[in-house]
Amino acid sequence: MGIYLSAPKTEKASDDGENDTLCYGLSSMQGWRATMEDAHAAHLNLDESTSFFGVYDGHGGKAVAKFCAKYLHRQVLKNEAYAAGDIGTSLQKTFLRMDEMMLGQRGWRELAVLGDNIEKLSGMLEGFIWSPRGGEGNDNSDDWVLEEGPHSDFTGPNSGCTACVAVIRGNQIVVANAGDSRCVISRKGQAHNLSKDHKPDLEVERDRILKAGGFIQVGRVNGSLNLARAIGDMEFKQNKFLPAEKQIVTADPDITSVELCDDDEFLVIACDGIWDCMSSQQLVDFIHSQLKTEDKLSAVCEKVFDRCLSPTAGGEGCDNMTMILVQFKRHSTPDDSISDEPPSSGQPSEADESSNEQSNGERSLDQPV
């Protein structure tokens, strides 16, 4: 089987949800690809005041994307910075933590299960002994790397995934991104990117790749990967003399923090299967047109897929597609408000200044994209 099917799989897996402050719809579709390698997470109540949304676009397999969908939001909650109110730093450290968790015995087994490879590896699993700390369902972060056993020397997966995550608390949105999935906010009908696509030809990415001993060929890292940042892809992270942030490929995300204002209508997180076919503004315009007739946000996502799907195999419109659409309820009526504070100008907040400085992820929303 090649990378494309003889006919696309157009069945959609969709969901909707809402709480007092926002509602969301999401959908995913395999399309022309031979396998579905995307994953996602939507948690309206990460805690009593916070919502979490993430899109994970896998490459080389689905295991890493599914691993992130299962564990990334849990690790954000466990991070000390999150408890201190620093969402940006907690996201940055959690992205890097994903790579650490996929090492060793437990990481190997979890990836095998999530990637549906457990049957192929069944012979290797005979006599497999779990340490008491590594039992199923135990998610204590301190247990992962410390476990010993037949695969304690597992150096991590050579497959990987992008990760684009938005955390919403009150009037604040914090976005963390590694790779070319993208987060966009619609403000008064104008699209504003809250993330940037990490391609190897960007100057900051190219400099890091070359300094770490890598090269760029035909727009790909070492002639292979068309992304400069990703979770997983451990073959590009083997320089023992460099920290995780400076490896050829890094999971270190850009962090962007903005304050919601009354002009903000909705937020979109989508994989590159969408952005290959539509610009940020084109997607925002299309969503606006669909919201006039569709009651369910997931149905809007499905219409986007139908709009992007190629009629033939090969090229744009043939990738897996995943999209989350988040609408802010507080803008539905003039009297509905989360905060008594006046609307902000949309500049990145000072709450995550330290994270923005280290990742250069801050963005002004004064100009649409």
Dihedral sign from CA coordinates of 52, 61, 110, 116: positive
Structure tokens at 274: 């969408």
Domain that holds residue 215: 4-61+157-333+348-359
In a domain, 112, yes or no: no
Confidence of residue 137 (pLDDT cuts 50, 70, 90): very low
In a domain, 321, yes or no: yes
pLDDT at residue 1 tops 60: no
In a domain, 133, yes or no: no
In a domain, 209, yes or no: yes
**pLDDT score of 337:** 35
Amino acid at residue number 119: E
Rounded to the nearest integer, the mean pLDDT of the chain is 85
Nearest-angstrom CA–CA distance, 215 and 127: 42
pLDDT at residue 204 tops 60: yes
Hey, what long-range contacts does 198-201 have (CB within 8 A, 24 or more apart)? 198/227, 198/228, 198/229, 198/254, 199/226, 199/227, 199/228, 200/225, 200/226, 200/227, 200/228
In a domain, 210, yes or no: yes
In a domain, 130, yes or no: no
pLDDT at residue 149 tops 90: no
* Burial group, residue 142, by CB count within 10 angstroms (0-12, 13-18, 19+): exposed
Backbone φ, ψ for residue 236 (5° rounding) = -95, 10
Q: How many structural domains comprise the chain?
A: 1
CB atoms within 10 A of CB 155: 14
Share above pLDDT 70 across residues of the chain, in percent, rounded to a whole number? 79
pLDDT in tens, 90-130: 999 999 999 999 988 888 889 999 987 654 444 444 434 44
Contacts of 313 (CB under 8 A, 6+ apart): 4, 5, 6, 8, 32
Q: Please, what's the b/e burial string for 164-185 (b: 16 or more CB within 10 A of its CB; e: otherwise)?
A: bbbbbbebbbbbbbbbbbbbbb
CB 316 within 8 A of CB 276: yes
In a domain, 224, yes or no: yes
Closest to 199 (Cα-Cα) out of 166, 177, 221, 167: 221
**pLDDT score of 3:** 87
Contacts of 101 (CB under 8 A, 6+ apart): 67, 71, 75, 107, 141, 144, 145
pLDDT at residue 181 tops 60: yes
* Burial group, residue 214, by CB count within 10 angstroms (0-12, 13-18, 19+): buried
pLDDT at residue 211 tops 90: yes
CATH number for position 228: 3.60.40.10
Q: What angle do CA 252, 153, 138 make, to 5 degrees?
A: 70
pLDDT in tens, 346-364: 443 333 333 333 344 445 5
CB atoms within 10 A of CB 275: 19
pLDDT in tens, 213-268: 999 999 999 999 999 999 999 999 999 999 999 999 999 999 999 999 999 999 99
**pLDDT score of 329:** 87
Structure tokens at 255: 């962090």
In a domain, 137, yes or no: no
Confidence of residue 144 (pLDDT cuts 50, 70, 90): low
Which CA distances in Å does 197 have to 110, 158, 339?
29, 21, 32
**pLDDT score of 168:** 97
Backbone φ, ψ for residue 89 (5° rounding) = -65, -40
- DSSP designation for 3: S
Nearest-angstrom CA–CA distance, 134 and 148: 10
Of the two residues 149 and 195, the one the predictor is more confident about is: 195
Quote the pTM value: 0.86
**pLDDT score of 222:** 96
pLDDT at residue 151 tops 90: no
DSSP 272-309: HHHHTTS-HHHHHHHHHHHHTT-S-HHHHHHHHHHHH-
Confidence of residue 56 (pLDDT cuts 50, 70, 90): very high
